[in-house]
Structure 1
């Protein structure tokens, strides 16, 4: 059993055979989280992973199906943190997954410097919004806009958390690619794998996945592009498998 608030629902993560608490008024994960969780390299048997900007814990839940390592989510919004904790408990994953309610800028001091094998982050994408946008829905505004943290804050903390030779993976927008590369290199993270995601064939890419290695040598690979929808506006086979699993 799980205690749900009035505006909450319990959704399925079908490919992982898990459930997650969501709220249309507070937070529901997007395809970006699925893409990042499938893109990042993770150790299969053991290891220590941190997920920054964890929201309702969706990426830790996704990753729990790919690794037997421990996963720590960091989320600054108390309501989202609470949703994540209850989802982890509902899925009986407390032994491997746990959440920290706090600011990602404080995470290295709280969790330890250079102790983690992998760091993932789905950060806010957009500049600070107007007061009107914040007042309409503060939870969504904080999740989407750089109100409480910037891209540089997220990359800096990721670098401080990850071991030398460890991996850091971000999902973002293609328009920030140069910023991401420059800031990663500033903090000793060398981009090694990049993948562009396109909404449909013939459209511009609208999502960017990038994975870097701490103190890695320059050698960037551009992976095969992903396309989300086919000509009939249905998910492509690769996206269907990510969402629903292989049949």
Structure 2
């Protein structure tokens, strides 16, 4: 019955149905908007499963909240500014029967205080725009460009939202590009989030890391752990065991 219902779901123009693999979940995505990729998956699997409630800043398709439900998290809020993506996120939550665990808020996370009290969340996730507004090649598609460049939210905006939303001793997790590592660590401390764990992501064992994962604790004591690197592909091009495990294939 579930499979038949999935097969008959109506898709709008530019939309497709992708396989999230975990728990048999499916994901609606648009080819003219930003689509989730492996950085989203590794962020959702970073660290132990967080305690509820959890906040996902700029949730997009709601991929992170959906993956977190597969990890046992029971209460997640995803905030999305783009109305097109917020609609897709709500439909993805309903499509996968996660309405009882995920709430999608269409709005600007720079204005969290309008609808949630300070320090409400035990964990906050962010896969924010990586590039400053004036740097790097820009897409002609508005949704893609805004997801990649800091047009609607800067790094300072992200950190201010985290500082407001996260409870004392709560955990913040983010994925970002390595060239901005020092910016990230400095900003986290500036907003009272102590960096505690970093893990670098390498496309192959012999390649430089281009992405990294970081976890910080609000009000945490100084002391940073660097985990062994996460390798995405083995030398032969196959996915590593670590990545396959995220998809439940080991």
Q: Which category describes the TM-score, using the shorter chain as reference length?
A: over 0.9
CA distance in 2, matches of 1:186, 1:62: 30
Deviation at 1:151, TM superposition (A): 0.8
Tell me what 1:189 maps to. Answer: 193
Tell me what 1:205 maps to. Answer: 209
The TM-score, its normalising length taken from structure 2, stands at 0.92
Contact 2:49–2:73 (Cα < 8 Å) also in 1: no
Tell me what 1:15 maps to. Answer: 22
Contact 1:155–1:183 (Cα < 8 Å) also in 2: yes
CA distance 1:159–1:67, change in 2 (3 Å): farther
Q: More relative contact order in 1 or in 2 (CA 8 Å, sep 6+)?
A: 1
1:28 has 2:35 as partner: yes
Q: CA RMSD in A?
A: 1.6
Q: Secondary structure at the match of 2:228?
A: coil
Q: Secondary structure at the match of 1:86?
A: helix
Deviations 1:29-79 (A, max 9, x none): 011000100004433xx6200000111111011111112321000111010
Report 1:140-155 matches (<5 A).
140-155=144-159
Gapped runs of 5+ residues in structure 2? none
Deviation at 1:129, TM superposition (A): 5.1
The TM-score, its normalising length taken from structure 1, stands at 0.93
Q: Secondary structure at the match of 1:211?
A: strand
Report 1:37-76 matches (<5 A).
37-43=44-50, 47-76=52-81
Gapped runs of 5+ residues in structure 1? none
Tell me what 2:114 maps to. Answer: 109
Report 1:73-222 matches (<5 A).
73-128=78-133, 133=138, 136-222=140-226
Give the length in aligned residue pairs.
242
